[in-house]
Chain A
Amino acid sequence: QVHLVESGGGLVKPGGSLRLSCAASGFTFSDYFMSWIRQAPGKGLEWISYISSDGDTISYAASVKGRFTISRDNAKNSLYLQMNNLRAEDTAVYYCGGYYWGQGTLVAVSS
């Protein structure tokens, strides 16, 4: 059974940083691409970052490029998202996954 658990969200001031983690189980993590998507309050889904199974191919949405960094540790079955220089508009629930998605972790950026 596929299980994805995000963690690391919270309240942060504008300009601050957070590191999200995603623990995967129930499938061969190293065989699959992974992504982060987010949903701001009252808004639609926004894809924000992608990483290939081996980590060689990475892509970011324009809205986060240069501020967010995606990475993975296949030995630990884990996906990460380092978020720097956070803005109010980054406030959202962040989900990790690809075909299946986790329950999400809330990031709130406010002074």
Chain B
Amino acid sequence: DLVVTQTPLSLSVTPGQSASISCKSSASLLHSDGRTYLYWYVVKPGQSPQLLIYELSKRFTGVPDRFSGSGSGTDFTLKISRVEAEDVGVYYCMQSIKLPPTFGPGTKVDIK
């Protein structure tokens, strides 16, 4: 299976500041169709997983533009600009270029 790793595993952020999470895959997530099959999810306390970013950098419906995804090949970044208290949760990247899809271990984000 394709392995996905994340760093850091935890992050404490001051409200209004930015936060970045790195995600690396063991193989390129760039498909021959030109799409990069990298997704970002968040699990907020007591809630179901929510999709934030799909296909590398496309924000899902209703996701604030404070969230942005970037990267290429095997290295990716989720950036949260102007962090708010509601952004607390565990953030996961996931690849789906190869079945089975695999999640990273998660990055826990809390507020200082």
A residues touching B (Cβ–Cβ < 8 Å)?
A: 35, 37, 39, 44-47, 50, 59-62, 95, 97, 99-104
Contact = CB atoms under 8 A, between A and B. Distances in A.
Contacts of B49: 37, 45, 95, 97, 101
SS of A interface (majority): strand
A37 B43 CA distance: 13
SS of B interface (majority): strand
Interface stretch (B18-26, B69-77, B92-100): B92-100
Interface stretch (B27-35, B80-88, B102-110): B102-110
Contacts of A60: 100
A62 B1 contact: yes
A95 B50 CA distance: 11
Given A59-B99, A100-B51, 12 more contacts: A39-B43, A44-B90, A44-B92, A44-B106, A45-B49, A45-B94, A45-B103, A47-B94, A95-B48, A97-B49, A99-B54, A101-B51
Nearest to B102: A47
A46 B4 CA distance: 12
10 contacts: A44-B106, A45-B41, A45-B94, A45-B103, A46-B103, A47-B100, A59-B100, A62-B1, A102-B48, A104-B48
A45 B101 contact: no
